[in-house]
Structures are given as structure tokens and as C-alpha cells.
A = this chain, B = another copy of it.
């Protein structure tokens, strides 16, 4: 694979072949080697199909050939369904015959022990050496309904030939890919392209996403991932989808410890840190969903609706109770449910005196006596641009024949008048009765809170699309120090950070008691004393920190205490003296760190308030580098972000300064990623607004070069 990221052009033979050979073709359409053939025939694949089977004259009514060498033309792609040990040889034969792509359905590779791993390695080598793109092995395969190409034995395809449609699915799991395809189809959504990557000996998830990003007829990209090996390629593929303006709905499993363990036990993929995936998706315009259901609801709404301009939801019901539940759900999902203006409320009251005119707006069942009311309500409520989306709750009366037609006509008029406002409907009833709404193209949810969740998902997709994916250039500041390849004391670590513009606490390194006394006086009298040694990273473990030390005697005793403790507990450590640092009052403590992810490289972490980090694990991550806008979104993700607001006499804190610090640290991380093992700034004091932030303690651990 070229380092510049996946090149989808060379997937054209795999995804849209004009001719296909099936190696190991079976006459029995229920077998792995028979199913793709039967699917191709049923779909009416317009190109040539050449079954290869040395034991039969014909296979499923087509002339069969004894070997791939005997087929009468050059196949663009081959389907390989022979036993694992025979696969490398078969793949070479395909390459010899000029095929540029292969789908290896056979299992028994990396997932099945050492021998399989060797065979898979051989498949990868052949793919690379012979320039043949390989999907699998151990994959359910792929299909492209737009070209009627069915390179799969997925049983879900049994229940109906896939039809061209706006959805493209890229899945690392065949079963989950099948489930998504089936659930989407049950919601009336056609998956035009479906790729399951299996063991990824060659083509991986990033390749599949990139292909879908480029594919003109694919509008919505649906991804299921368990863990990728090539982080930069996935990043590049997501950027590509974002630039193409295509919503990416991303289901990543392995969030929990048990889930992550299950991933590693059932695939050969590295699970990576789930939180880093969260960061990756947030940064690259993809929307992460938690369940297949959420994914399908989001795809359903996205396929039918415009994306809303903001988070202001109008809840319109023809009965009060459901509106309350919907308002609760909206609050959970951070949608705002603001009341209409007083004037608008007056106008509504003039229509139905006892109706609810705040938001949720409740027309009452009066609507069934005068269906035109719905249109009037929508017009009055939307014409001032006060709402970005509408969630409509209709009782089952609305599904009756008498009501459905006129009511849909009212909705159609509102939709035409306000084309930018998504209109999502909740209505419980048998499919035959709710059909007028689905046929008119309204996203339909049985349960009212799911309609609200769909609006929230549309909002997240909209925000992801509006946000430009910015990866800032990393300019190394003039005079920036480099990370050494030896361990660093706190003072040196802070000097390094300061050379990048990170504000660190005022301090002096004191080699003697008298130097410490002088430093304390210069720093305002009340100081922190910390043992200074590049060999002691965890100073508190040796009792190496004294806070609030004041007065000549106290500083002298403190100096002596720290050096004595260090000498007795860590006689091996080289002690430079004592770091004398100013005490900083006010504000709240944050924690900032750099971690190095094996798949995605350096990432920056932030957390707030010791208890929140320690007890609730309330931290946010982003891949380095990122700008201050991204840093602000990162901070806003924290549950504890409210600590920044003014509260009970406590002043507002300088979140902007923290965002600048995070972005600076991220650029440092990006520039020095290879040289860094980890960085831990704990605490970073966030001062009242306008007073900035200051790093009070810093541990920088260089990566020890191998050997």
C-alpha cells in the first residue's frame, strides 16, 4: 500500500469487475462455492461468469472450466472458494491469468492458528508482488448492487437481491455487516455497496471507506469496526469521506473491557484504545453510534431529511403526554426545546384556545376535526426560523384512512415551504396503515423518543459536516528545545515545554539551602519545595514534595528533609537539589497528558478536578496535532466542563487559555511524537478568566531508543 493512503482506483476491479471467475465453483447453491454463483445468476450480472471446477462439465447451468488457465477470457476478479491450503496456489493462478482482484471466501487462516497465519502471510505477499487486490480471506465477501456484482455467500442476500441505493457498508465483521444490511433493508434503505473485510490480508477497512467516499452513487457511509492496524490510512479515508461531504456513521465495538477482550479473541486485529477511536471519529467528521439500532435510525433519517442547521427542536404533538417524554429525551440529548415567541404563542392560541403553545406544542385532538390546523401550526411556528427541526407525534388516529391522506398533504406543504427543516414523525401502527407517511418520505418511528434521538443524530451529522476537518501545520517554534534521549528532571521538562510556549510555574533550581532560601524570597515567600532529580519521576512516592513552605527556617528544614529522604529512599538517584516553585492560589486543577497510541500515534488527554478524573475517569482525548477550536470541543466533552463556569461566587475560569495550551501541547506531541514515551502535566492550574493557565508539575518521559 502506498504511504499516501489507499488508492481506490485499484479497487475498481474488485468492486466493479466486468468479468468474474469462480474458483471452486459448486453446483450446489447452498455451498460457499455455489452461493455467489447463484446470486450472480439471480441478480443478472451483465458480465461474463466463468465457473472453475475440474470435476464437472457444467455448474449451475454454466459451462465449467477445469482450471483458471482454461477460462476463455481475462477475468477482472476471481472468487476463491477452495480449501485454505489450496488458496495461495489458486491466487497465483488467478494472477497468472491476469485477474486484478480476488475475493477469498475460504476460512482457516490467521483466525485458525499458526499454519493459517503462515498461509495468510503468503496471500499478502502474492497480493503485493503480483499486484492483485485481495479481499479476505475469511470474509463473507462483498456486493455492488449498482453493477449487480455479488461476490458474497452472505445468507441475508438469499432473502432478496440487493438493490442499488444510497448506503455503502464497510464492515470488519461479516455477521455484523449482514445484520446491518438486513436491518437497513427492513427500514426501506438499500445498500448499494457492501464490503466485509474479513482477515484483511490486503484490502482493509480504510480501503473500503475510501472507495465509498469516491463512489458517486453512495451518499451515506456506514462502518462497523473492531480494530484497525493502519491508523493513518483510516484517518486519510475519513478525511476523504469528509471532503466528499458524505455522512459517516461509525459503529465501533469493544468499548468495554470485556468487549475489547472479545475483539482480540475473535479476530487477529489489534483492539487499540477505544478512547482514541472516539477522538479520531470526533476529529474527522464521523459520527459514532453505540448500537446497530441507532445506526439504522440515523441512516433512515439521513436518507430522507435535510441535515438541520442547529439543535433547536420543535416538538409538535396532537396529545400532551408523549410531548413530555419527548422533551425529556431532548434534554438527555442536549437538544434545546425553547418556547416560541410570545407573539407566536398568541397566534397559536387564537387557533385552539386550550392547546399547549409552549414547546412541546400540543394541538390537542382538535386536529382531527380540522386537519388543516397542522399546516397552520407548522407555518406559524417555523416561519420565523426559530426551529431547526421538528419531531411530530401523531396518535394512531393519524394512521386511519380518513386522516392519513389529508394530514400527509399538510406535512408535504410544510416541507415544501421549509425545505431545510427536517420533519421526523412518530406514529405507532401496523405498516399497512402507516404507509402513507413512509411513502411520502417521512422518517417514521414507532416510539416518540426514538424520533427525538433521530433528530439528535441528524444534528450530530450536521455538526460533523459543517466542521472543517483541520489538521494544523506543525511549525516548530524558534528556539524550541528538542526532547533528549535521556531522562529529564522536572525543571528541564518545564524548560522544554516553555520553549514551545507552554506557561509553567515560576521556579528556581536550588543546589544548596541558601540558594533555596534566596529563591523562596524571590518567589514571594510562600513556596513549594520539590526534590529535583531526573531519576525520580514520582516525587510523592519518596515524600519529595512540600507545599506552602514559608519563612527562612521552614525552607532550610524543608531542603534538608527532601534531600535526606531522597538519599535514604533512592540512593541510586542523581539529585540536582531542590526545585523551589511559587505557590499559585485560586482556580481549579486540570490534568493534561500525552500518550502514544500504537495504531494512531501521539494523542493528547485532558481531565478536570482530581476527583472527576480519578473517580469518574472524566477525560477527553484528541489525536495530535489539533487547533484551539478542536481543543475547545475536547474540553466541552468533559462532564466537569461546568467547573469553568462562574458558580456560587467562584469566578469563571480561563477555558480559552487551557484550549491554547492543549493545542500547543498537541503540536509539540506531533513534532516530537517519535521521541516521546509520555508526558504528564498534573496539575495544570486553570486560573480565573483572563489570568491564563500554569503548569504546576510536569513529567516528560523520552522514548528510550532501542538498544
A639 on the B face (CB < 8 A) = yes
List the B side residues contacting A158 at CB < 8 Å. Answer: 396, 400
Binary interface encoding of chain A residues 412-456 relative to chain B, with 1 for a CB under 8 A from any of its CBs, else 0: 000000000000000011100100000000000011111000000
Beta-carbon contact of A321 and B428 below 8 Å: no
List the B side residues contacting A616 at CB < 8 Å. Answer: 612, 616, 639-640, 642
A155 on the B face (CB < 8 A) = yes
Interface stretch (choices A123-131, A358-366, A557-565): A358-366
List the B side residues contacting A174 at CB < 8 Å. Answer: 319, 321
Q: What residue in chain B is nearest A450 (Cβ atoms)?
A: B293
Chain A residues numbered 156-203 whose CB sits less than 8 Å from any CB in chain B: 156, 158-159, 171-179, 182-183, 186
A639 to chain B, nearest CB (A): 6
Given contacts A155-B397, A611-B612, A615-B643, is CB(A226)–CB(B324) below 8 Å? yes
Chain A residues numbered 283-329 whose CB sits less than 8 Å from any CB in chain B: 290-293, 317-325, 327-329
Q: What residue in chain B is nearest A616 (Cβ atoms)?
A: B639
Interface stretch (choices A4-12, A259-267, A376-384): A259-267
A330 on the B face (CB < 8 A) = yes
Binary interface encoding of chain A residues 327-341 relative to chain B, with 1 for a CB under 8 A from any of its CBs, else 0: 111111000010000
List the B side residues contacting A359 at CB < 8 Å. Answer: 258
Beta-carbon contact of A176 and B259 below 8 Å: no
Residue contacts A-B, CB under 8 angstroms, 18 given? A155-B396, A158-B400, A159-B433, A179-B322, A226-B321, A253-B324, A254-B324, A254-B328, A255-B332, A258-B328, A258-B330, A259-B325, A266-B320, A267-B320, A292-B447, A292-B449, A612-B616, A615-B647
A501 on the B face (CB < 8 A) = no
Q: Which of B259, B293, B358 contacts A327 (CB 8 A)?
A: B259
Q: How far is the CA of A624 from the CA of B707 in the complex (A)?
A: 67
A682 on the B face (CB < 8 A) = no
Q: How far is the CA of A178 from the CA of B394 in the complex (A)?
A: 11
A55 on the B face (CB < 8 A) = no
A296 to chain B, nearest CB (A): 8
Q: Which of A258, A259, A448 has the most CB atoms of chain B within a 10 A radius of its CB?
A: A258
Binary interface encoding of chain A residues 228-270 relative to chain B, with 1 for a CB under 8 A from any of its CBs, else 0: 0000000000000000000000010111111101110111000
A190 to chain B, nearest CB (A): 16
Tally of A interface residues using CB under 8 Å: 86
List the B side residues contacting A642 at CB < 8 Å. Answer: 615-616
A609 on the B face (CB < 8 A) = yes
Q: How far is the CA of A251 from the CA of B293 in the complex (A)?
A: 22
A113 on the B face (CB < 8 A) = yes
Chain A residues numbered 86-141 whose CB sits less than 8 Å from any CB in chain B: 111-113
A552 to chain B, nearest CB (A): 20
Q: Which of B224, B321, B362 contacts A253 (CB 8 A)?
A: B321
List the B side residues contacting A354 at CB < 8 Å. Answer: 111-113
Q: Which of B155, B186, B447 contacts A395 (CB 8 A)?
A: B155
Given contacts A321-B172, A611-B612, is CB(A256)–CB(B179) below 8 Å? no
Beta-carbon contact of A155 and B262 below 8 Å: no
A485 on the B face (CB < 8 A) = no
A614 on the B face (CB < 8 A) = yes
A650 to chain B, nearest CB (A): 9
Q: What 6 pairs between A and B have smallest CB-CB spacing?
A: A173-B321, A175-B319, A256-B331, A266-B320, A176-B321, A253-B324
A356 on the B face (CB < 8 A) = yes
Beta-carbon contact of B615 and A612 below 8 Å: yes
A29 to chain B, nearest CB (A): 13
Can you tell how many copies of this chain the complex includes?
A: 2
List the B side residues contacting A224 at CB < 8 Å. Answer: 321
A648 on the B face (CB < 8 A) = yes
A427 to chain B, nearest CB (A): 10
Q: What residue in chain B is nearest A354 (Cβ atoms)?
A: B112
Q: What residue in chain B is nearest A618 (Cβ atoms)?
A: B616
Beta-carbon contact of A265 and B176 below 8 Å: no
List the B side residues contacting A433 at CB < 8 Å. Answer: 159
Beta-carbon contact of A428 and B328 below 8 Å: no
Q: How far is the CA of A254 from the CA of B640 in the complex (A)?
A: 25
Beta-carbon contact of B262 and A356 below 8 Å: yes
Q: Which of A293, A327, A329 has the most CB atoms of chain B within a 10 A radius of its CB?
A: A327
Beta-carbon contact of B155 and A327 below 8 Å: no
Given contacts A113-B354, A261-B358, A360-B262, is CB(A256)–CB(B332) below 8 Å? yes
List the B side residues contacting A362 at CB < 8 Å. Answer: 266
Q: What residue in chain B is nearest A183 (Cβ atoms)?
A: B428
List the B side residues contacting A400 at CB < 8 Å. Answer: 155, 158
List the B side residues contacting A329 at CB < 8 Å. Answer: 291
Beta-carbon contact of A179 and B428 below 8 Å: yes
Q: Which of B156, B332, B358 contacts A265 (CB 8 A)?
A: B358
List the B side residues contacting A111 at CB < 8 Å. Answer: 354
Given contacts A257-B331, A446-B186, A611-B640, is CB(A323)–CB(B155) below 8 Å? no
Q: How far is the CA of A330 from the CA of B253 in the complex (A)?
A: 12
Beta-carbon contact of B612 and A430 below 8 Å: no
List the B side residues contacting A112 at CB < 8 Å. Answer: 354
Q: What residue in chain B is nearest A433 (Cβ atoms)?
A: B159
Q: How far is the CA of A640 from the CA of B610 in the complex (A)?
A: 12
Q: Which of B258, B265, B325 contacts A331 (CB 8 A)?
A: B258
Q: How far is the CA of A683 from the CA of B614 in the complex (A)?
A: 21
Beyond A173-B320, A614-B648, 19 additional contacts (C-beta under 8 Å) are: A158-B396, A159-B396, A172-B321, A173-B319, A175-B320, A176-B325, A178-B395, A182-B396, A253-B327, A255-B331, A258-B331, A259-B328, A262-B356, A262-B360, A267-B320, A291-B447, A609-B611, A612-B612, A615-B643
Q: How far is the CA of A397 from the CA of B159 in the complex (A)?
A: 10
Q: How far is the CA of A310 from the CA of B317 in the complex (A)?
A: 40
List the B side residues contacting A330 at CB < 8 Å. Answer: 256, 258
Given contacts A396-B156, A428-B182, is CB(A325)–CB(B292) below 8 Å? yes
Q: What residue in chain B is nearest A317 (Cβ atoms)?
A: B175
Q: How far is the CA of A317 from the CA of B176 in the complex (A)?
A: 12
Q: How far is the CA of A420 from the CA of B263 in the complex (A)?
A: 30
A433 to chain B, nearest CB (A): 8
Beta-carbon contact of A253 and B179 below 8 Å: no
A70 to chain B, nearest CB (A): 31
Q: What residue in chain B is nearest A171 (Cβ atoms)?
A: B321
